[in-house]
Structure 1
Amino acid sequence: MTLAQVTGTRLYLAVGRVSFLTVCAGLLFGYSTASIAGWLDEIGREFSLGNGGKEYVTVSLVFCCFLGAIAAGPLARAFGRRITLLAAFGLAAAGYGLILTHPDLTGLVIARILVGLSVGLSSMAGPMYAGEATPARFRGSVVSLFQLAVTMGILAAYTVPLVIDDPRAWASGIGFGGVIALAGLAALLMVPESPVWLARVGHMDRAQSVSASLGLERVPVDEASERPAVSLWKALRVGSTPAVLALCCGLFILQNLSGIDGILYYAPAIFVDLGFSPGTAALGATFGLGLINLIATVVAIATVDRLGRRPLAIVGSLVMVIGLLGVVVAQVWSLPILGLIALCVYIGAFAISLGPLPYVIMSELVPSTIRETGIAVASATSWLFNALIAFVFLTGVSSIGLDGVFLIFAAVCVCSLVISLVWLPETKSRNLATIEGNVIGGIPLRQLGDIDQGPVSSQESGTPG
């Protein structure tokens, strides 16, 4: 049975509801990861922590994001995307509720563990749901809304310490994230389950109904119910799947090793090292970075479905290299204003390239037979390297200097430029079924969005017969 898909106002309302949920997931990610930055010095003083102790407090959340991302795949596959997101927002609400009690150091770490697990779950399930529940012509922009919301969350996290202006109120400042968790729970009441997951578990009638209500032309992968999920290791022998997973994991590794996490977690300390005075000046410069990040991400969302994935990745990577080298020059020659400008250039370039694009590419390229596992692997990889940077950044700056650390980041961005030029496919406005057919058909990675292999049969999918 084929149902008439919604159009006009109803279509935009459907896309809007999915967008709101995506924004809540991104806000949770951004605020949770950045909220420690403006309060870390006061937390260090209150609990007598040195650089190592501050790194441990920071990484307690990030490492649990890694664990949450690992758990997200099995949860999303077994119980659906909505249940996974429900668990994420529920854990976040519990964690932020604990922080609002102004706990001791142990309580703070426990709360950050809960929030970290929630962010790990939502960082995988949020973009996955957005990619599966959005019509092709809106998909790139809606998935990119996740990264926009991440930047909005980061900006909010940088704004709150400036507004409160009382370091001792760190519990209230960080605990503000509980509002985001409650908004996410409300958003879940307004959206259906993913039609891809419904088809996967055999509910084809409901999947078709949900697809029509979301404005999709059809169930995003029509053969989903006929092609049960296969193990990751079996899927790795099918078509271009190994290359797709390598690309997705590689993009997330590059995203985290490009320097964004060190800047995200330790921006006030970086600005002090560049020559800004501690306190309001460093926090104000940090706020400026967050604002540039937000503006540039808006530009990325407006252009990702018009200019495409490849141009944004290539130009963004090149400009990131220029910005990072500018920071090195500013550090060597003691030019704090140049350092601020260079960091703004880097952040702007990141926000149109390595910021949103890994999530867009991940949601579009990973085949439906291993979508949950594949995206969880990519997301977990991201968090693992995120935790690595959070754990060693301050120590690295102490050992080789800020300029040495940023030279390493610049080298990573050169690798991003090369990978974007040689292997990144262009997938704008392509139907997910078409892309999957190309992946399973073994089309070279660079050409996955250029050639239409047509419908994919269950035999071609590599499903054991």
Structure 2
Amino acid sequence: MSSTASSQPAHHARSNASMTFFVCFLAALAGLLFGLDIGVIAGALPFLSETFQITSSQQEWVVSSMMFGAAVGAVGSGWMNYRLGRRYSLMIGAVLFVVGSLLSALAPNVESLIISRILLGLAVGIASYTAPIYLSEIAPEKIRGSMISMYQLMITIGILAAYLSDTAFSYTGAWRWMLGVITIPAVLLLIGVIFLPDSPRWLASRGSHEQAKRVLERLRDTSEQARDELNEIRESLKLKQTGWTLFKENKNFRRAVFLGVLLQVMQQFTGMNVIMYYAPKIFELAGFASTEQQMWGTVIVGLVNVLATFIAIGLVDRWGRKPTLILGFIVMALGMGILGTMLNIGITSAFSQYFAIIMLLMFIVGFAMSAGPLIWVLCSEIQPLKGRDFGITCSTATNWIANMIVGATFLSMLNSLGSAHTFWVYAALNVVFIILTIALVPETKNISLEHIERNLMSGKALRNIGSR
């Protein structure tokens, strides 16, 4: 009798853990589409430029139109998530992914392609906002970091898959297939989201406490855990102000919003986009002369990006967010600094060419194991429940604005400072980010969102809001 009773909870815990993983995996699929849409255009651009006979200015529009859509989508996601919830927001994003992918593949002219890329940008903006916040509110605290990091892993897998797909289709120049094949995972996401539960924290914030309790009971090991978590959520909901009002009237909430914005600026100004942009040039210096060889070079970059993200998933809930971030910034500062020095001296021998590629890949490892996933983890953890939609709107919009600034200034920096000095500037910025991480970033592993919120609202220093 006693053995049956004891095996029941164990079976319940196993089934709930499987359910939690399934829910988090589906939500992270939005990251796969995010990565596919970011990665696919690089390989498709030369072929569609030939089809439509477009100018370099129009090519910039084709590429940047998605960033514009993403910024708009991220800003609009705050209101959408507040009114409709995480699940329906993900569903709208999935529909936009399907429609945008189909329209891109069927575009009769460059104007239609730009419009479809803006639609895809809206979907990316919604995904980049909703998936991390949903994952942070669904996952148990002991695996929350690795579950949100899985979203970033999906982005890197999406970029790699886009590179591989582009390389495969490049032999025939079938750019419509490059853009259209994304419809398949978009449809899978749309079907999967239908089966997702809504966030228990969003349900509770709308007064649906019973429904929130039922969701938590499906996702936690025991009903006691579900009950205790719901009680903590109810406690955090006693705060009267929300969103903008809370931002105006509560200096502690303003600190959390400031930290979220700073974290996203730090992520973008590590120089990851610069490295990704410069990668083909460095592969060219190493003797990869043909377009085909350079495309396989970008596949190697994409593969390293994916594999190094597993380091973050392994460390984030064991070693912690803060030490992993510090190590990542050190690795990136070294990679950028050495690469800048080599460019200053001149890359002439075969050894120096291959060493330059090793430095490039080392930088990517540093980013993928730290700032890539962990900034999203921290931004979704530090905002109080009543201000989470507003706070994450600010940080996600900052991500896309900073992304655009880096993209718009990189070529100007190369022209005015030269390649070596440009890399040194980014190396110096990574050193600054080590100092900022030590001074301001909290350690949030194994701490409930509500406990972090209580520490923040009681006025504890930002770096201590994850302490027990």
Q: Do the structures match in fold with TM over 0.5?
A: yes
Q: Which residue of 1 aligns with 2:312?
A: 300
Task: Tell me the secondary structure at the aligned position of residue 240 of structure 1.
Answer: helix
Which of these residues, 136, 139, 142, is aligned with residue 144 of structure 2?
Answer: 139
Are 2:246 and 1:234 equivalent residues in the alignment?
A: yes
State the distance in 2 between where 1:408 and 1:108 align. 36
Deviates more, 1:342-351 or 1:219-228: 219-228
Encode CA deviations 1:28-60: one digit per residue, 9 max, x unaligned. 111111211223333344444555443332111
1:81 aligns with one of 86, 90, 106: 86
Measure how far apart 1:171 and its partner are: 1.9
Amino acid aligned to 2:117: R
CA 1:63 to 1:245, structure 2 compared with 1: closer, same or farther past 3 Å?
A: same
Deviation of the 1:265 alpha carbon: 5.4
| Residue among 128, 134, 148 paired with 2:133 | 128
- Structure 1 distance, partners of 2:271, 2:302, is 15
1:355 aligned counterpart, secondary structure: helix
Any gaps of 5 or more consecutive residues in structure 1?
452-465
Question: Is the counterpart of residue 38 in structure 1 residue 50 in structure 2?
Answer: no
Q: Identify the residue that residue 430 of structure 1 maps to in structure 2.
A: 447
Kindly provide the amino acid, as one letter, of the partner of residue 200 in structure 2. Answer: P
Question: Which of 301, 317, 322 is the aligned partner of 2:329?
Answer: 317
**1:61 alignment counterpart:** 66
- For the pair shown, which has the larger CA radius of gyration, 1 or 2? 2
In 2, distance between residues paired with 1:44 and 1:388? 25
Which amino acid in the other structure matches residue 178 of structure 1? T
Alignment of 1:249-328 (within 5 A): 249-264=261-276, 267-269=279-281, 271-272=283-284, 276-328=288-340
Determine whether 1:409 maps to 2:421: no
**Mean CA deviation greater in 14-23 or 433-442:** 14-23
Q: State the AA in 2 paired with 1:418.
A: I
| Worse-matched range after superposition: 406-415 or 69-78 | 406-415
244-253 or 220-229: which moved more?
Answer: 220-229
Alpha carbons of structure 1 residues 336 and 322: separation in structure 2 relative to 1, 3 Å: same
Aligned amino acid, residue 431 of structure 1 = S
Q: What's 2:194 paired with?
A: 189
What is the Cα deviation at residue 164 of structure 1?
A: 2.2
1:37–1:268: 8 Å Cα contact kept in structure 2? no
Structure 1 equivalent of residue 384 of structure 2: 367
Distance in 2 (alpha carbons) for counterparts of 1:274 and 1:351 = 23
Q: How far apart in 2 are the matches of 1:413 and 1:176? A: 37
Give the distance between the partners of 1:285 and 1:314, measured in 2 at CA. 28
User: How does the TM-score come out when normalised to structure 2?
Assistant: 0.90
Change (3 A) 1:102 1:340: farther
Distance 1:395 1:47 in 2: 28
Secondary structure of the corresponding residue to residue 449 of structure 1: coil
Instruction: Flag the 1:310–1:412 CA change in 2: closer, same or farther, 3 A.
Output: same
Q: Give the secondary-structure state (helix, strand or coil) at the position aligned to 2:271.
A: helix
The answer to whether the Cα contact below 8 Å between 1:141 and 1:302 also exists between their aligned partners in 2 is yes
Amino acid aligned to 2:440? W
Aligned residue number for residue 201 of structure 1? 206
Structure 2 CA distance, aligned partners of 1:199 and 1:132? Answer: 11
Q: How far apart are the structure 1 equivalents of 2:174 and 2:210?
A: 52
Q: Distance in 2 between matches of 1:155 and 1:120?
A: 20
Structure 2: gaps spanning 5 or more residues: 1-8
1:243 Cα deviation after fit: 2.0
SS of 1:349 mapped into structure 2:
helix
Whether 1:356 aligns to 2:361 is no
Cα distance between partner residues in 2 of 1:244 and 1:431: 16
Shift of the alpha carbon at 1:182? 1.3
Q: Which residue of 2 aligns with 1:454?
A: none
Partner of 1:96: 101
1:240-251 matches, cutoff 5 A: 240-251=252-263
Which residue number corresponds to residue 337 of structure 1? 354
Aligned-residue offset at 1:371 = 0.5
Offset at 1:261?
2.2
RMSD of aligned residue pairs (Cα, Å): 2.2
Between Structure 1 and Structure 2, the one with more helix by share is: 2
Question: How many equivalent residue pairs?
Answer: 448
2 CA distance for matches of 1:238 and 1:5?
Answer: 44
Equivalent position amino acid for 2:161 in 1: A
